[in-house]
Amino acid sequence: MVFKVVDGKVKNLSGYDEWSEIIEIDETTFKKLHLNLCQKMGRVVRTNFMDNP
């Protein structure tokens, strides 16, 4: 299972594959990584939409 812990509260993120390595990150790092991923995916979506309206 994949878990997200924020403010000491553990939330199970169902539907995610489990990794063989465990890396704990704080909430600030999680938010930065999430923002970075959203920006990259946004570019991909906008580019594909412009190519195939």
Domain boundaries, the chain: 25-53
Q: Judge whether 24 and 32 are in contact, CB under 8 Å.
A: no
pLDDT (tens digit, 9 = 90+) per residue, 4-52? 777 778 777 777 776 677 788 888 999 999 999 999 999 888 888 776 6
Query: Is 0.75 surpassed by the pTM of this model?
Result: no
Query: What are the angstrom distances between the C-alpha of 25 and each of 33, 42, 43, 49?
Result: 10, 24, 26, 34
